[in-house]
Amino acid sequence: MIDFHCHILPGLDDGARSFDESLEMASIAQSDGIKEIVCTPHIKKRYATPTLKAIAEAVQELQSLLQSKRIDIRLHSAAEVALERNLADLVDCGEIPTIGGAERFILLELPWERIPRYTSTVISELISSGVTPIIAHLERYYQVIVDPALAWEFVEAGALVQVNSGSITGMFGYDAQVTARILVSHGLVHVIGSDAHSSGRRSPKMSAARDLVKDMVGEEQADKMFRLNASEILAGRLPKKEAPRAYKDSKPGSWRRGLLGKLVFYLSRQLRGLR
Ligand SMILES: [Fe+2]
């Protein structure tokens, strides 16, 4: 398996706090069957944004440590990049780490509070610049939980979708779990990541989610989401996209769309201390 979203690099964001913790995380990942990890520290305003050089150096140092401890995991440099209106310009200026080669990709985080109207414009601008956005943990945003058809619109616009393994198993609550399963069963998921932040509760584990996805859509599709597509992206190739099936059913009750639904969603996130 390839973990496509992991805060394993120490001291760059709210992920691992030390190289010791990074090593513990890698050891947990290895025991769970993960062979490669895409290192995705946050690039967003509330964090001291790491430079491309700092990310590359941390990856190199951790990779050497893994070798010395005989932990057989390959690391890749990347980032979880927060949406900005001028993101395509920032990528053009070389300020944002991209994944791949001939085809380039970024892992794009949308704002938790509200997905802005200009998101589809930024997606189009990125694609015009030759960069495919992969939207991070799409199943966890309130607007997607309320209306999973939004995911179909993003995919139709050319974006790829990453889902958290913990959402599939229920670690991020019922809403995220139901939404993740809708996305998986409608061909709207391209890569999976643990979004691990520590060696504790949010550690890098994906095998339980893989078993569930295999039961839902079969071994071949599960392999695409947990390994093959990520491998294509890392090699700089656009993975073969399945034709997504549009989601038409209105899943939640109408109260979920209003202020009360939003309040319940945010309170439950706060109470569970989720990031
Ligand atoms: Fe993350």
Quickly list DSSP for 201-218.
Answer: TT----HHHHHHHHHHH-
Phi, psi (rounded to 5 degrees) for 36: -140, 145
Task: Report the separation in Å between the CA atom of 69 and the middle of ligand 1, taken as the mean of its atom positions.
Answer: 26
Task: Report the separation in Å between the CA atom of 37 and the middle of ligand 1, taken as the mean of its atom positions.
Answer: 13
Task: Report the separation in Å between the CA atom of 124 and the middle of ligand 1, taken as the mean of its atom positions.
Answer: 23
Residue with tokens 């943990």: 137
Second CATH level (architecture) for the domain 79-271: Alpha-Beta Barrel (3.20)
Task: Report the separation in Å between the CA atom of 88 and the middle of ligand 1, taken as the mean of its atom positions.
Answer: 20
Of 46, 243, 32, 255, the closest CA to residue 156 belongs to: 243
Task: Report the separation in Å between the CA atom of 160 and the middle of ligand 1, taken as the mean of its atom positions.
Answer: 16
Q: What is the pLDDT of residue 103?
A: 81
Task: Report the separation in Å between the CA atom of 259 and the middle of ligand 1, taken as the mean of its atom positions.
Answer: 26
Task: Report the separation in Å between the CA atom of 139 and the middle of ligand 1, taken as the mean of its atom positions.
Answer: 13
Q: How far apart are CA 46 and CA 112, in angstroms?
A: 13
Q: What is the pLDDT of residue 249?
A: 66
Task: Report the separation in Å between the CA atom of 5 and the middle of ligand 1, taken as the mean of its atom positions.
Answer: 6
HSE-CB at 205 with a 13 A cutoff on CA atoms is: 18
Q: Beta partners for 99?
A: 105
Q: How far apart are CA 236 and CA 187, in angstroms?
A: 22
Domain ranges of the chain: 79-271
Task: Answer yes or no: are the C-beta atoms of 153 and 120 closer than 8 Å.
Answer: yes
β-strands 99-100, 104-109 pairing: antiparallel
Task: Report the separation in Å between the CA atom of 228 and the middle of ligand 1, taken as the mean of its atom positions.
Answer: 21
Would you state the torsion angle of the CA atoms of residues 249, 253, 257, 260, taken in this order, to the nearest 10 degrees? -160
Task: Report the separation in Å between the CA atom of 158 and the middle of ligand 1, taken as the mean of its atom positions.
Answer: 21
Task: Report the separation in Å between the CA atom of 50 and the middle of ligand 1, taken as the mean of its atom positions.
Answer: 15
* Dihedral of alpha carbons 171, 172, 175, 176, sign: negative
Q: What is the pLDDT of residue 273?
A: 56
Task: Report the separation in Å between the CA atom of 217 and the middle of ligand 1, taken as the mean of its atom positions.
Answer: 25
Q: What is the pLDDT of residue 100?
A: 86
Q: What is the pLDDT of residue 214?
A: 98
Task: Report the separation in Å between the CA atom of 80 and the middle of ligand 1, taken as the mean of its atom positions.
Answer: 6
Task: Answer yes or no: are the C-beta atoms of 148 and 179 closer than 8 Å.
Answer: yes
Helices (H), 94-200: 119-128, 142-146, 149-156, 165-169, 174-185
Q: What is the pLDDT of residue 94?
A: 84
Of 152, 246, 171, 194, the closest CA to residue 144 belongs to: 152
Structure tokens at 178: 């139901």
Task: Answer yes or no: are the C-beta atoms of 119 and 138 closer than 8 Å.
Answer: no
Of 229, 254, 226, the closest CA to residue 240 belongs to: 229
Residues of the chain below pLDDT 70? 46-47, 249-275
Task: Report the separation in Å between the CA atom of 157 and the middle of ligand 1, taken as the mean of its atom positions.
Answer: 23
Residue with tokens 């398996």: 1
Task: Report the separation in Å between the CA atom of 195 and the middle of ligand 1, taken as the mean of its atom positions.
Answer: 5
